[in-house]
């Protein structure tokens, strides 16, 4: 097993952007006869470990899927717990993020979030806006289809306002209206808990992303699993549609 302090990688070959679908909190808790809330709390610790490893590797961008547009269908008690957990950890972790030069971004439509939480997220992003280290994107009330619709509406408004013509709409102008504008597309998408689906995550951005799935449940995720994913990623031949 690889030790985290060895870091035997050529940094030029490492992914610039890793995205993670954090799945399995509920199953982790169920296996231990614990409430689902315990799984979500353990998942926070897994995220902390993951950020530490990504920073150690020097990877510029990490995007994690925290709460989808579909997650509102869950029981109200669980949704409220998730929102409270987010607020609590925002308070406790913000100073560490800032001290470690991490820039926080929130992806998704925040209009449906509680007003107080929305304001706190905005302030946290403002606090870290000038940081130049890891860019940490948290996808919150996020859905890939919703993001694409919001981008299309923004483009339509820009055409209506005479900012440019329909003929000037292309992949670049469309991408400039996405939540991830200005960032590289993910090179590697990791999904935990063995599920073989995308779940409406970064649908535009992962057109040529390498996908790696592990059976490890999210609360058990750690640096060793990240190394396994990167080892597999580095063995792949990324052709981007070319006949190589």
Per-residue pLDDT tens listing for the chain (244 residues): 344 444 567 888 999 999 999 999 999 999 999 999 999 999 999 999 999 999 999 999 999 999 999 999 999 999 999 999 999 998 889 999 999 999 999 999 999 999 999 999 999 999 999 999 999 999 999 999 999 999 999 999 999 999 999 999 999 999 999 999 999 999 999 999 999 999 999 999 999 999 999 999 999 999 999 999 999 999 998 776 665 5
Determine which one of 5, 10, 71, 237 is catalytic: 71
Instruction: Domains for the chain: give ranges and CATH numbers.
Output: 14-143+186-233 (3.40.1180.10)
Alpha helix (H) residue ranges in the chain? 25-31, 36-57, 76-99, 115-128, 144-160, 171-175, 223-235
Annotation marks residue 23 as catalytic: yes
Determine which one of 5, 23, 101, 200 is catalytic: 23
Closest CA to 103 of 139, 52, 60: 60
Query: CB atoms < 10 A from the CB of 218, how many?
Result: 26
- What span, in angstroms and rounded, lies between the C-alpha atoms of 49 and 62? 13
Q: Is 95 exposed, middle or buried (0-12, 13-18, 19+ CB in 10 A)?
A: exposed
């Amino acid at each position: 097993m690889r030790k985290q302090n060895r870091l035997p990688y050529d940094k030029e070959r490492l992914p610039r952007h890793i995205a993670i679908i954090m799945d399995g909190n509920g199953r982790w808790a169920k296996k231990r006869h614990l409430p689902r809330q315990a799984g979500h709390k353990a998942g926070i610790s897994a995220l902390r470990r993951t950020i530490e490893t990504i920073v150690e590797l020097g990877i510029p961008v990490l995007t994690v899927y925290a709460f989808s547009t579909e997650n509102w269908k869950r029981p109200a008690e669980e949704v409220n717990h998730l929102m409270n957990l987010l607020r609590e950890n925002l308070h406790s972790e913000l100073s560490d993020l800032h001290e470690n030069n991490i820039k926080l971004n929130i992806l998704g439509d925040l209009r449906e979030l509680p007003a107080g939480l929305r304001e706190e997220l905005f302030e946290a992003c403002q606090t870290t806006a000038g940081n130049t280290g890891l860019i940490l994107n948290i996808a919150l009330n996020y859905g890939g289809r919703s993001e694409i619709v919001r981008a299309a509406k923004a483009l339509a408004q820009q055409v209506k306002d005479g900012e440019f013509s329909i003929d000037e709409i292309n992949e670049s102008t469309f991408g400039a209206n996405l939540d991830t504008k200005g960032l590289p597309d993910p090179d590697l998408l990791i999904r935990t808990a063995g599920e073989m689906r995308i779940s409406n995550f970064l649908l535009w951005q992962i057109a040529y992303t390498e996908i790696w799935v592990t059976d490890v449940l999210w609360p058990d995720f750690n640096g060793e699993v990240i190394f396994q994913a990167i080892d597999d990623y580095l063995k792949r031949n990324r052709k981007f549609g070319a006949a190589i």
